[in-house]
Amino acid sequence: MSAGALMVSAPASGHGKTTVTAALARAWTDAGLCVRVFKTGPDFLDPMVLERAVGSPVRQLDLWMGGPEHCAALLHRAAVEADVVLVEGAMGLYDGTPSSADLARRFGLPVLAVIDASAMAQTFGALALGLATYRSEPGLAGVVANRSAGAVHARMLRESLPPSLRFYGALPRDAGFALPSRHLGLVQAAEIADLEARIRAAAAALVADGPIPPPPEVRLPEVHEPVPPRRLDGLRVAVARDAAFAFLYEANLDVLRALGATPCPFSPLADEPVPEGCGALYLPGGYPELHLDALAGNAVTRGSVLAHHAAGRPILAECGGLLWLLDALEDTQGRRAPMLGLLPGAARVGERLANIGLQTLALPEGTLRGQTFHHASAEVRLAPAAHTRAALDHGRPEPVWRSGRLVASFLHLYFPSNPDAIAALLRP
């Protein structure tokens, strides 16, 4: 199956990949094209913004967590539905193992480089040429200049490029395009009141000199993932989903549905109970430290979660979900509040990164893959039932705690890495 496709990458983080990807997605959507967008690697925040830009779910492509066949199946499905497939890269083009370049090379995706040109002129062309010739693959389709100083500056940047590289346009240096950030990355899309206006303005600026033609056609292989047995058929799974618990892979929900389960969202911040009839509870990560008062005072939610655990029903908690299970949580300002108290201990969120990296978790139910990225440190008065194993030598293992049917850790699990293990963990 063929579709117009691009990998949007950059020399490094901070060059504006998300802004440009969102602008391109909106511009082509407004032009009447069907666009599907992906994010490279284990990222939760960028996809929230991209989803607002394109109006459809944004899934992750990760060669390690999900594997090449899983990524190929997602791309094929998108190509069947869409005219244009955009993939936002992670970090710099060649950074990481696997890198955005590895993903682009694997599936023949041409690369669009986003370069922050705010402090350069003709060197813009040299940097673009370096990205294009560092390796023979992936191929560089063109370049977008971000944060240009105006029309004259944009013309200098365009003229610095060799004839082989197409200039896709320039976004001016404008605070109205910038996406605010905090310690884990961008601010969540739902918290940016004027996000729609920012996306619309960025798209308009990118097409100010005329419409952007669709990207090159790429033939994406026809791959279909095997359908797992419906081991959770009829199971209702409560899923915490609000500003405190928003770090959730869309593919995880896909797996629950494929297993026969029905995800049932509820909001702890709104003091909603675990939905009636749910036999399992999933607490994803997020920013519970930003909502201490609301979480400390949610008596209805607290009572329903405690009752769920007391009844011996499964609970799977990741990172922010783990923090909520503890006796207490302290934010970066030293404010402390009581949490659920299902795990003995407390945690503090600091300014410095505590751990990051891809991880494997071997449990009796099966081996799963995922990633960890947090600024919190936890002291839990319970012996860990297991530890994760870092994919790279410099990574640090994460403890995993179990109490009855409760399983909690800082690890964000990627359910497609082993649907059978997820079924075993959540089966009542």
- Catalytic site residue 278? no
The DSSP result for 15-34, as a single string, is: S-HHHHHHHHHHHHHHTT--
| Rounded Cα distance, 348 and 317, in Å | 17
CA angle 160, 162, 165 (to 5 degrees): 110
H-type alpha helices, 94-194? 100-107, 123-133, 151-159
| Rounded Cα distance, 45 and 301, in Å | 26
> Which residue out of 71, 264, 278, 319 is catalytically annotated?
319
Contact 11, 129 (CB under 8 A): no
Place of tokens 């108290």: 341
- Looking at residue 191, the DSSP 8-state letter turns out to be G
- Looking at residue 375, the DSSP 8-state letter turns out to be -
Strand partners, 269: none
Q: Which 3 state secondary structure label does DSSP give 350?
A: coil
Strand partners, 280: 237
Pairs from 162-165 (Cβ < 8 Å, separation ≥ 24): 162/125, 162/128, 162/129, 164/132, 165/125, 165/128, 165/129, 165/132, 165/140
> Active-site residues: which are they?
319
